[in-house]
């Protein structure tokens, strides 16, 4: 029997153990797709196809609104695409250089994708999660909003280049619009722009400026919804439906399917890797509807 004076301490210790277990669970990420495939089916679907998981909550006719099947790779396709993002002796994934002006950007022939978003939207965390299979790559994760003031170029083997654009909004560099605008307008090998929106707060005024820019230059872009682990299912579904409605009615160049992700749980990260590998031309079908790595 516990002495009366010890009871509150024991209770506190128990609470602490439970809290630590919760933190542990939240931090256990599934960086490789092989780990995801070992999960029970429901949990696996939630991590691999977060939009599909959300869609289940809708009535059958409302389900059409989410366009989950436009990019709908098989589990095998996702596994194959992972090798593009896995650093090996033959597939060097590395930081290349930074630039404040387009004419300082590396002159590369391979396809390029860029990531843009408001400061604090979770851009560095997302790029870090995408590169988690290349642990040598150093992606700075900001503590203070607005620290990324340069375009940072990362080379993903012979496959493509990924560009981390400066965050906009609060304390953005004065020449931000000039820098980003020129890059978006003039970069010849830019295949796709990934525009990040915080799923907790939805599309903000500053996001609309970036959306307007992509639309004005007729760029093909994709909306990635970050931090999906932070909201309840109900709140997330509401935001996703609102953003989807906006994309359907107000945009021309935006890919109709949204990509919800969490850099904490790795939900949606594997699907996004597969999408990037696909649109940069690094996956091809083998004629039987299956994706194969372009070597």
Q: Which residues bind to ligand GDP, rule: CB under 6 A?
A: 117, 119-125, 141-142, 145, 167, 226-227, 229-230, 262-264
**In the complex, least distance from residue 246 CB atom to ligand GDP, rounded to whole angstroms:** 21
**In the complex, least distance from residue 186 CB atom to ligand GDP, rounded to whole angstroms:** 24
Which residue, 77 or 207, is less far from ligand GDP as judged by CB?
Answer: 207
Which residue, 127 or 291, is less far from ligand GDP as judged by CB?
Answer: 127
Cα separation values, 201 from 111, 181, 289, Å: 32, 25, 38
Which residue, 111 or 117, is less far from ligand GDP as judged by CB?
Answer: 117
**In the complex, least distance from residue 69 CB atom to ligand GDP, rounded to whole angstroms:** 25
Nearest Cα to 24, choosing from 291, 264, 282? 264
Q: How far apart are CA 259 and CA 113, in angstroms?
A: 15
Q: How far apart are CA 135 and CA 132, in angstroms?
A: 6
Neighbour order of strands in the sheet with 151-156: 93-99, 151-156, 160-164, 112-117, 190-198, 221-226, 259-260
- Which residue minimizes CB distance to ligand GDP? 122
Which residue, 6 or 19, is less far from ligand GDP as judged by CB?
Answer: 19
Nearest Cα to 156, choosing from 81, 83, 80, 92? 92
Query: 285 forms bridges with which residues in the sheet?
Result: 291
Which residue, 22 or 284, is less far from ligand GDP as judged by CB?
Answer: 22
- Burial code (b: 16+ CB inside 10 Å, e: under 16) for 23-42 equals eeeeeebbbbbeebbeeeee
**In the complex, least distance from residue 224 CB atom to ligand GDP, rounded to whole angstroms:** 11
Which residue, 50 or 117, is less far from ligand GDP as judged by CB?
Answer: 117
Give the number of C-alpha atoms closer than 13 A to the C-alpha of residue 234, restricted to the C-beta side. Answer: 0
**In the complex, least distance from residue 191 CB atom to ligand GDP, rounded to whole angstroms:** 22
Which residue, 157 or 268, is less far from ligand GDP as judged by CB?
Answer: 268
**In the complex, least distance from residue 259 CB atom to ligand GDP, rounded to whole angstroms:** 13
Give the number of C-alpha atoms closer than 13 A to the C-alpha of residue 285, restricted to the C-beta side. Answer: 6
Which residue, 50 or 167, is less far from ligand GDP as judged by CB?
Answer: 167
Q: Confirm if 198 and 125 have CB atoms less than 8 A apart.
A: no
**In the complex, least distance from residue 4 CB atom to ligand GDP, rounded to whole angstroms:** 40
User: Residue 256 phi/psi, 5° resolution?
Assistant: -65, -20
Residue 247's contacts (CB-CB under 8 Å, 6 or more residues apart) are: 223, 254, 256, 258
**In the complex, least distance from residue 229 CB atom to ligand GDP, rounded to whole angstroms:** 5
């Amino acid at each position: 029997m516990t002495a009366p004076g010890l009871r509150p301490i024991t209770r506190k210790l128990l609470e602490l153990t439970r809290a630590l277990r919760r933190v542990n669970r939240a931090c256990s990420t599934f960086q490789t797709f092989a780990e995801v495939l070992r999960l029970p089916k429901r949990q696996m679907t939630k991590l691999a196809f977060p939009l599909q998981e959300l869609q289940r909550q809708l009535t059958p006719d409302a389900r059409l609104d989410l366009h989950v099947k436009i990019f709908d790779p098989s589990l095998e396709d996702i596994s194959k695409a992972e090798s593009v993002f896995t650093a090996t002796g033959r597939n060097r994934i590395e930081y290349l250089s930074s630039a404040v002006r387009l004419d300082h950007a590396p002159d590369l022939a391979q396809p390029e994708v860029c990531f843009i978003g408001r400061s604090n939207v979770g851009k560095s965390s997302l790029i870090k999660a995408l590169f988690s299979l290349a642990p040598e790559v150093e992606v700075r994760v900001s503590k203070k909003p607005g620290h990324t003031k340069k375009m940072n170029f990362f080379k993903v083997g012979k496959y493509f280049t990924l560009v981390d654009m400066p965050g906009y909004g609060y304390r953005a560099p004065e020449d931000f619009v000039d820098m980003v605008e020129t890059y978006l307008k003039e970069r010849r090998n830019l295949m796709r722009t990934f525009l990040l929106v915080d799923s907790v707060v939805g599309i903000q005024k500053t996001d609309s400026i970036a959306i307007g820019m992509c639309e004005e230059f007729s760029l093909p872009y994709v909306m990635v919804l970050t931090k999906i682990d932070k909201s309840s299912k109900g709140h997330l579904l509401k935001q996703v439906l609102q953003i989807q409605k906006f994309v359907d009615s107000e945009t021309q160049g935006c890919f109709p399917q949204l990509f919800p992700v969490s850099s904490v749980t790795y939900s949606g990260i594997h699907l996004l890797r597969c999408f990037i590998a696909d649109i940069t031309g690094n996956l091809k079908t083998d004629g039987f509807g299956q994706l194969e790595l372009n070597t």
